[in-house]
């Protein structure tokens, strides 16, 4: 038996509806903020992620799926969405045909070779948003607001926004020097990875999961200590805007995020959720003012975020999702009825109704059971006698009430019955005769 590859999952009916809900909510919320959907290839030239994400990050050094294709090109399955969106904006010169800032969102699979665990797979999915062309603190606040609104729309409660600033390039350089000077004498007390990375990527040491409780890191200098006046003002303005929007947050001086391209504002969203654990990170992002230019585009500041959908699936798994079932199930008895049933089902489907019928030559009892399993609202019973009279019996699966309806009048009659049933009418609506429950 051939099985799926480690780190991937099959999303089956019954579960896929949860995914559809996440995607539907993401599109709806993004539209409220006037973010437009963008779709990029699943694989890109490896150079894009090496230059964009950073050669010294764990993602590029340890986790990317790299291969050489048949054209001898170095290709990488995308590990994140931001670099691909930026490449797309540059290549298609989107900044020449649309008003700034450019605001896009994406939904799709990403790939990282990491240890599979609860809510984390090697093929995973993200909903992300990117705003390009504005350095205004209001853009930072809007992106954070969009992220918070999304979680609220998903009914995920107990959310905490953690906020920090890395400052501009000048501030980051000064802080990087301070941090290396601090870590050099005590490097032997760090984990083996941090002992190697502290020179080439010292900010990643602060994000180490192994040493997160190490007092050395807790006492280390923080990015906020080295912000210049411009960076301080930007961070203060972002905070004032969030306060004005009633977005609650906490400043976490140790927050750095894991990608090299971040400057100024960085943030994470955590949820105190029993399915994820206490204070589990479910999304995050920040400002990346130099990535567009570094990848060959104009000198465009930008800010964005991404959520891992697998984490959100876990966070919302206690929410009840009902299978809405069918509007109708066609029950055919006899050869002539079985010939007409597909035509009847097709006509109703073209009218927007969810309809199914038997494809296994089940007897009458078996067809009734199948209709029940599929939660059909109405049963459409067609036999030889009905064909002769050009009628079909419409049976309400809930009440058992049955009515013979002319086949040519089936669609409008069924529409009215469905409306009546869905309203659970009590005699007050115009179409009601007063005899319903």
Domain boundaries, the chain: 16-168+228-315, 328-423
Phi-psi region of 400 (alpha: psi -120 to 50; beta: other; left: phi over 0): left
Phi-psi region of 152 (alpha: psi -120 to 50; beta: other; left: phi over 0): alpha
DSSP assignment of 146-199? HHHHHHHHTT--SEEEEEEE---HHHHHHHHHHHHHHHGGGGGGS-HHHHHHHH
Collect all residues with Cβ–Cβ distance below 8 Å to 361 and sequence separation of at least 6.
none
- Per-residue pLDDT, 383: 96
CA quadruple 309, 35, 106, 60: dihedral sign: negative
Angle at 18 between CA 39 and CA 142, to 5 degrees: 55
Q: Report whether 133 contacts 95 (CB < 8 A).
A: yes
Give residue 10's Cα distance to chain centre.
Answer: 17
In the chain, what are the helix, strand and coil shares in percent, each to the nearest 5?
Answer: 40, 20, 35
- Per-residue pLDDT, 41: 98
- Per-residue pLDDT, 56: 60
Q: Report whether 23 contacts 313 (CB < 8 A).
A: no
The whole-model pTM stands at: 0.85
Place of tokens 């086949």: 407
From 205, 249, 203, 197, select the one nearest 223 (Cα to Cα).
203
Reduced to 3 states (helix: H, G, I; strand: E, B; else coil), residue 286 is strand
What is the strand order of the sheet 74-77 is part of?
Answer: 43-45, 74-77, 65-68
437 residues of the chain, pLDDT tens digit each:
999 999 999 999 989 999 999 999 999 999 999 999 999 999 999 999 988 777 666 677 778 999 999 999 999 999 999 999 999 999 999 999 888 999 999 999 999 998 888 878 999 999 999 999 999 999 999 999 999 999 999 999 889 999 999 999 899 888 888 888 888 888 777 887 777 777 777 777 777 767 666 788 778 888 998 899 999 999 999 999 999 999 999 999 989 876 778 999 999 999 988 888 777 899 999 999 999 999 999 999 999 999 999 999 999 988 866 678 999 999 999 999 999 999 999 999 999 999 999 999 999 999 999 999 999 999 999 999 999 999 999 999 999 999 999 999 999 999 999 999 887 644 444 444 444 44
- Per-residue pLDDT, 157: 87
- Per-residue pLDDT, 83: 94
Tokens describing residue 254: 């140790």
Domain 328-423: CATH architecture, name and number where available: 3-Layer(aba) Sandwich (3.40)
Q: Give 178: exposed, middle or buried? Use CB within 10 Å, 0-12, 13-18, 19+.
A: middle
- Per-residue pLDDT, 428: 43
Of the candidate CATH numbers 3.30.70.600, 3.40.50.2300, 3.30.930.10, 2.40.50.220, the domain formed by 16-168+228-315 belongs to 3.30.930.10
């Amino acid at each position: 038996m051939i099985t799926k590859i480690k780190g991937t999952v099959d999303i089956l009916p019954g579960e896929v509806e949860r995914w559809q809900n996440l995607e539907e909510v993401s599109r709806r919320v993004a539209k409220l903020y006037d973010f437009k959907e963008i779709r990029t290839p699943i694989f890109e030239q490896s150079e894009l992620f090496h230059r964009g994400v950073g050669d010294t990050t764990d993602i590029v050094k340890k986790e990317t799926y790299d291969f050489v294709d048949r054209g001898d090109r170095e290709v990488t399955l995308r590990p994140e969405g931001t670099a691909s969106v930026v490449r797309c904006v540059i290549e298609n010169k989107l900044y020449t045909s649309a008003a700034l800032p450019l605001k896009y969102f994406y939904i799709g699979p990403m790939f990282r070779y990491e240890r599979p665990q609860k809510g984390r797979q090697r093929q995973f999915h993200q909903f992300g948003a990117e705003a390009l062309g504005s350095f205004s603190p209001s853009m930072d606040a809007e992106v954070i607001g969009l992220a918070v609104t999304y979680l609220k729309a998903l009914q995920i409660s107990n959310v905490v926004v953690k906020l920090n600033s890395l400052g501009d390039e000048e501030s980051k350089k000064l802080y990087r020097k301070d941090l290396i000077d601090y870590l050099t004498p005590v490097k032997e007390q760090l984990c083996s990875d941090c002992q190697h990375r502290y020179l080439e990527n010292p900010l990643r040491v602060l994000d180490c999961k192994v040493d997160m409780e190490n007092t050395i890191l807790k006492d280390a200098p923080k990015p906020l200590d080295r912000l210049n006046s411009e960076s301080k003002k930007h961070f203060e303005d972002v905070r004032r805007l969030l306060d004005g929007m009633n977005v609650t947050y906490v400043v976490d001086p140790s927050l750095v995020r894991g990608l090299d391209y971040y400057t100024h504002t960085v943030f994470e969203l955590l949820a105190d959720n029993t399915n994820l654990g206490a204070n589990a990170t479910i999304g995050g992002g920040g400002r990346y003012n130099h990535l567009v230019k570094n990848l060959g585009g104009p000198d465009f500041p930008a800010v964005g975020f991404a959520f891992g959908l697998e984490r959100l699936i876990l966070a919302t798994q206690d929410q009840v999702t009902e299978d809405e079932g069918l509007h109708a199930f066609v029950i055919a008895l006899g050869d002539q009825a079985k010939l007409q049933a597909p035509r009847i089902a097709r006509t109703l489907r073209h009218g927007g109704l969810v309809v199914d019928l038997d494809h296994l030559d089940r007897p009458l009892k078996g067809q009734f059971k199948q209709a029940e399993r599929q939660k059909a609202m109405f049963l459409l019973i067609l036999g030889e006698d009905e064909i002769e009279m050009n009628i079909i019996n419409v049976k309400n699966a809930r009440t058992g009430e049955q009515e013979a309806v002319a086949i040519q009048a089936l669609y409008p009659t069924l529409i009215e019955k469905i409306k009546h049933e869905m309203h659970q009418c009590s005699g007050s609506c115009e179409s009601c005769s007063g005899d319903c429950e």
